Amino acid sequence: MRPLPDHSLAPELLRVWRISSLGSTLFLCIFPLGYFGASLLWDLPLWIMYILIGGVVLLGLFDIIFMQRWKWKRWKYAVYEDEVELLRGVIIRERVIIPMIRVQHVDTRQGPLLRHYGLASVTISTAATIHEIPGLKEADADELRDSIARLAREADPDE
């Protein structure tokens, strides 16, 4: 049996994911606010709004503190001569093997948060889909991109 992938994502990515999760939690605040606005128009019980507020706060804290850390700890990858292997997922574990022969192109990507923390994502495109290694140090991402591109060229029988 093949060993599990052992390369981890950059530790700074955890902070990026937590900031994104905070943004999602703040977005969920529209539900208690919407209920409060509706309660001003109609005679609705306020205890439901308090339950909504508590639910958003608990869900947000759980996501920011625990889920993002578990997700970061479980995300692993490995690059071999003939394939790239990705392992991810907290509740549902997903193990993906991408044969080098199927790789069409490899790219790096940075959003504003990743750029701020000096991180980049590596995207691996095949005919069927795009796979992403979400957060590596910028230099590591560039090196990995170049390495996968070189291995994919070597694996192509047409060249």
Place of tokens 């140090």: 137
Question: Per-residue DSSP letters for 61-130?
Answer: HHIIIIIHHHHHHH-EEEE-SSEEEEEE-SSS-EEEEEEGGG--EEEEE--HHHHHTTEEEEEEE-SS-E
Domain boundaries, the chain: 12-71, 76-155
Kindly give, in sequence order, each residue whose CB lies less than 8 Å from that of residue 109, ignoring residues fewer than 6 positions away: 120, 121, 122, 123, 132
User: 76-155: what fold?
Assistant: PH-domain like (2.30.29)
Q: Mind listing the pLDDT tens digit for each residue in 82-116?
A: 999 999 999 999 999 999 999 999 999 999 999 99
Q: Mind listing the pLDDT tens digit for each residue in 25-84?
A: 999 999 998 989 898 899 889 898 899 999 999 999 999 999 999 999 999 999 998 999
Q: Cα separation of 96 and 46, whole Å?
A: 48
Q: What is the pLDDT at residue 5?
A: 87
Could you tell me the two tokens for 79?
């690059």
Q: Cα separation of 136 and 113, whole Å?
A: 13
